[in-house]
Amino acid sequence: MAIEIKIIENTKNRFFFELSGVDHTFCNLLKEELWNDPDVKVSSYRTTHPLVSIPQFIIETSKGSASEAVISAMKRIESLNKKFLTAFSKI
C-alpha cells in the first residue's frame, strides 16, 4: 500500500493532515519525534477506528512552520533508521 498525505489545514503554526498507508507504529514514531522539537507545542494523531480509519495528525508550533517541523522530524527519523541499519549490518 502506498503512503498518501491529504492536507486538511496548513497555516504557519498549524498543520492538520491525514496519512493513509501507515499503521500505529509509524504514527507513534512520528508523533514522538515531533516532541523532540522545542518549537512544537502540539503533536498528536487520532483514528476513529483502530483498524480501518485513516490517521489524522495535528501539529502546532510556537514559532516556525508546523509543516517544516514535520519535514525535519522525518529527516531525523530517516537518519536514525540509517544508523540502525548500519549497526545491525555489523552484527
Query: In this model, does residue 50 exceed pLDDT 80?
Result: no
How does pLDDT run across 9-29, given as a tens digit for each residue?
999 999 999 999 998 899 999
Q: Which residues pair with 44 in a beta bridge?
A: 58
Which fold does the domain 4-89 belong to in CATH? Gyrase A; domain 2 (3.30.1360)
Question: Is 52's pLDDT higher than 90?
Answer: no
* Tens-place pLDDT, residues 64-82: 999 999 999 999 999 999 9
CB 54 within 8 A of CB 19: yes
* Percentage of the residues of the chain whose pLDDT score is greater than 90: 84
Q: Would you kindly state where each structural domain of the chain is located, as residue ranges?
A: 4-89
